[in-house]
Each structure stands twice: as structure tokens, then as C-alpha cells.
Amino acid sequence: MGISRILAGVVVLALTFPATASPAQSSAASVEVVKSVGVQLPVSDFRAIELDEARGRLYIAQGVGGGSPLIVTDLDGRLVSQVTAVTDLSDLTLSDDGDTLLVAQGFERVVALDLDTFTIAGKYQGIQGACVVSVEPSGDKVIGTFVDCGIGSGGLLIWSAPDTEPLVYTAGPNYNPVIDASPGAPGLLVAGDTGYSPVSTYVIDVSGKTPFIVARRDYTGSNLRDYAVSPDGTQVVESTGHPYEHHAYNLPDLSDAVVYPSGSYPDGAAWSGDSSTVVVGRGSSGSQPDIYFYDKASTVPKYVVDFHIDDVMWSGTLLVNRAGTRAWVVSYDDVYQEVQLLHSFGPGHPPNPPVTDLAVTARTGSGKDKATAFITVSWSSPHGDSDFWWITASSNGGPEREFWRGPMDAPSPYELTYSLPHGTTTFTVRYKDYWGWYPDGYATVIIRR
């Protein structure tokens, strides 16, 4: 898994949307596009996520500086536990054997957690002036990426064992590295720098005492976001802001493999555990789909997922199960960048679909209020300040007249009144999504005076 965030101060290139449809949009036309709403994650400062399919868990890092603990959820995002003994995490990943969780902690070290007890099984201490940001195992080595906090360069820290001095390596990426590795290619690391462009992609052999570059390919794109090495170690999929497609390269020589169509802007990829399926995703996708499932080496998607236009994929958060039948990804609210949602979907797992659940009830008052209708409108979805419901009244078969319109981020239920004429009045509450993503909402109630 590549680094899933960019540190403050890194320059990100501004790119413009193409005027014409991307190849992914065209190839997805024959595939049913499913919609995913997602569920709120039990976190306060999301940073990274990892899948533990064997134990039925997701592990979530909440960021450095606030003392937030490691979060453990089930595969549907429901809270299982908070590991308060381990806080301030910027990244996490499973060891190749699946028994240990490696976490980058406090920008200072990497800690290995035993996943049966959540006790510390090993510590990999960084060095002064190098802020450790992310972590990846490769063979018998643990590799941490670091950015310059006084050492004079970014690069890699390579540990051969816990409680040993790391080797500092800056001959490859040396600014803000993104890395990935695979059990199928032990001792190899794919790496590149984010924060400036064009991108150079490296394959580095870290198996011996002295790392060396096996292959280097320059100009592989701009604005690097993520690398995803296949579990069998034969390919790496690169996600860059441009070009608007996901390029895969053969390992270890970085020769061309296949191009997976996706569209703007590529923001992450992940493989199934059996290397049969690759899932690619993009951010800032507008009204176009966000996630595409491909069979390895195929350029025609077999499953396509769309998020609401206000939800954007969090870079590098795609996860896929072993069989390629279910994936997970985190999105954030593009309007306020506050809400982090967990989406889960796949050919074997229907997503949480969009639902519009407007309801309306009404009653007549008594005494001095006998000519007043007391109306209650309720909803839970959609829910946002750009979503509005409205209500009309039609008396004795006459035309409808709108008399109230309100935002769906207001507290629900909402109470209002209406002056009733004699006879029968029908109240109708409606919702229509401007983007056509949520289904239309419609409910009525009839009262008599």
C-alpha cells in the first residue's frame, strides 16, 4: 500500500478536466454502474486503513499529534475496539505473514503489533531529523519512508531487525517517497517521489546489506499518488494525477504491461490477494464513476462504482479481498473535507445504496387551532445543505401550491403549520437530486376539516 496522504507544504500540480469522455467512461457504458453511499467511520482524524481479511477486521490510523488511538472495526466499519496503547499513527500495513501490524508512529518510529494480543512485538526506531511517514515490509526488511525534518533530505529507512540502527537510503526517491512491495517479490521495493513532477519510478533491491536500483523509469506521469504491486510480484500499477489512466508496469524491469482505463484523476489501486483482479480509483471524478474492477491484463471493466459528486476517494485507501469479490475504500466530503465514509462493494457484495426516505404526517388542531394543520416532515437520507425538500398543499382537488422549502441538513423531524380551508387537503413532500444520483423522494398525507 502506498502512502495515503500528502504532508502540508507539498506542491500539488493543478490539472484541468478533459473536455471529452475518457476511455473509462466509454468502456464502462456497457457495464452496470452501481452507486455506493458508504457509512460513517468511527474516527476523528482519518489517515490510513488496512484490511485483515483472516480476522475479519479493518485497522485505521487517526493521525499524529492528537493522541488518537488505533481503531479496529469489523469489515462493515463497525467499531470493535480502540487500542489506546498505540496512538499517533500516520500509516499502517500488515506483515507479509499476516500476523503483525506495522504502524508508523509519531513520525519517529515503526512499531510492530501482535494481532492476537495487540501488544508490541518489536520497535524500529528512526533517526533524528527524519520524520517517518509510512511503512512497508519487503522480505526480511522493514522500510519506512521519511521526509526531511532536519536531516537535509527525504528518503528511506531500512531496518534488518527490531532495535537495530536503520540504513538511510537517499539514492532513489529523496523528497516525499511513496512505496509498495509484495510477498511475491521479497526484497524488492517500488518507489517514487510525490510533491514534484515529472515522476521517476524505481525498483530497488533492499535484500542485501547495500540497496541498489534494479530499474528506473523516468517520466511515468505527474503528481504521484500511489503504487500497487500485485501479490504475485509481477506487476505494479501506478496512480498519477496525469495521465488520466492507470498504467501497469512489469517487474522488475518496469517495461510496459497494460493500461487500465479510469479517467481523471487516478488516485489509487489495489489487487486481490490472488492477483486475479485489480481495482483502480480516482479522485475529483465529478459526475463520472469512481471505482473500476478489472481482470488482470483486461482493459474492459467488469464492475463499476459511483460515489455522490460531493464524495471523493481518499488517496491510497483501496483494499481488496483475496478473491476479488469485495473491495473497501474511504471517501471524504469534498465540500467541507470533514466526513470520512467507508464504502464496501464488489461482484459478491452489494454496496450500501442511496435511499431517499422522506415521510410526512399531519393532524388538525382543536379548539382555536381547529383550522390549523400541524405537519411533521422527517428524513435521514439524503442529508446535506445542498439538498432541499419542499411541500405542497392541494385543497378539494385543486392545484398544488408550494408553501415551504427547506434544507435537508436541518434537524429532522421538521415541524410546520398550514391554515386549512374547509374540505380535504392533500400535503405532498418531495425531493429531487439536482445530479440525479439519489432517487426522487415523494410522500403524501390527507386530512379533512
9 within domain boundaries: no
Q: Residue 88, exposed/middle/buried by CB under 10 A (0-12, 13-18, 19+)?
A: buried
CB-hemisphere CA count at 13 Å for 30? 5
Whole-model pTM: value is 0.89
- The answer to whether position 353 is within a domain reads no
Give the integer Cα–Cα distance in Å for 48 and 319: 11
Is beta strand 311-313 parallel, antiparallel or unpaired with respect to 212-218? unpaired
Tell me, yes or no, whether 10 lies in a domain.
no
Q: Are 123 and 139 in contact (CB under 8 A)?
A: no
Residue 337: its pLDDT value, please?
57
Same domain, 264 and 404: no
- pLDDT for residue 29: 55
89 shares a domain with 230: yes
322 in a domain, yes or no?
yes
Q: State the maximum Cα–Cα separation within the chain, in Å, rounded to a whole number.
A: 91
Task: Say if residue 306 is in the same domain as residue 382.
Answer: no
- The reported pLDDT for the residue numbered 13 is 31
Is 375 found in the same domain as 332? no
Same structural domain, 247 and 145 = yes
CA torsion, ordered 413, 418, 423, 427, to nearest 10 deg: -40
Give the C-alpha distances (Å, rounded to integers) separating 156 from 4, 67, 141, 205.
16, 25, 12, 12
Calpha distance 190→212 (Å, rounded) = 12
Average pLDDT, the chain: 91
Question: 237 with 334, same domain?
Answer: yes
HEC letters along the chain: CCCCCCCCCCCCCCCCCCCCCCHHHHHHHHCCEEECCCEECCCCCCCEEEEEHHHCEEEEECECCCCCEEEEECCCCCEEEEEEEEECEEEEEECCCCCEEEEEECCCEEEEEECCCCCEEEEEECCCCEEEEEEEEECCEEEEEEEECCCCCCEEEEECCCCCCCEEECCCCCCCEEEECCCCCCCEEEEEECCCCCCEEEEEECCCCCCEEEEEEECCCEEEEEEEECCCCCEEEEEEEECCEEEEEECCCCCEEEEEECCCCEEEEEECCCCCEEEEEECCCCCCCCEEEEECCCCCCCEEEECCCCEEECCCCCEECCCCCCEEEEEEECCCCCCEEEEEEECCECCCCCCCCCEEEEEECCHHHCCEEEEEEECCCCCCCCCEEEEEEEECCCCCEEEEEEECCCCCCEEEEEECCCCEEEEEEEECCCCCCCCCEEEEEEEEC
Residue 112 belongs to some domain of the structure: yes
Claim to verify: residue 145 and residue 205 sit in the same structural domain: yes
Same domain, residue pair 180 and 32: yes
| 123 found inside a domain | yes
Domain CATH for 370: 2.60.40.10
- Tell me, yes or no, whether 336 and 372 share the same domain: no
Single residue among 312, 345, 378 that ends a domain in this structure: 345
Considering 321, 345, 369, which residue would you say is the last residue of a domain?
Answer: 345
Total domains, the chain:
2
Domain of residue 402 covers: 359-448
Phi, psi of 271 (to 5 degrees): -110, 150
The domain that holds 183 is classified in CATH as 2.130.10.10
- What's the one-letter identity of residue 335? V
444 and 341 within one domain: no
Is residue 16 in a domain? no
Query: What pLDDT, on the 0 to 100 scale, is given for residue 409?
Result: 84
Query: Does residue 172 share a domain with residue 315?
Result: yes
Whether 179 is covered by a domain: the verdict is: yes
Same structural domain, 427 and 284: no
> What is the chain's pLDDT, residue by residue, as a tens digit (449 residues)?
443 333 333 233 333 333 334 455 545 557 889 999 999 999 988 999 999 999 999 999 999 999 999 999 999 999 999 999 999 999 999 999 999 999 999 999 999 999 999 999 999 999 999 999 999 999 999 999 999 999 999 999 999 999 999 999 999 999 999 999 999 999 999 999 998 899 999 999 999 999 999 999 999 999 999 999 999 999 999 999 999 999 999 999 999 999 999 998 999 999 999 999 999 999 876 778 999 999 999 999 999 999 998 899 999 999 999 999 999 999 988 665 567 999 999 999 999 999 999 999 999 999 899 999 999 999 999 987 778 999 999 999 999 999 999 998 888 999 999 999 999 999 999 999 988 899 999 999 999 99
Q: Which three cell numbers stand for residue 75?
A: 469489515
Give Cα separations from 321 to 17, 53, 75, 296, 325 (angstroms).
Answer: 32, 7, 11, 15, 7
Which of 319, 345, 371 is the endpoint of a domain? 345
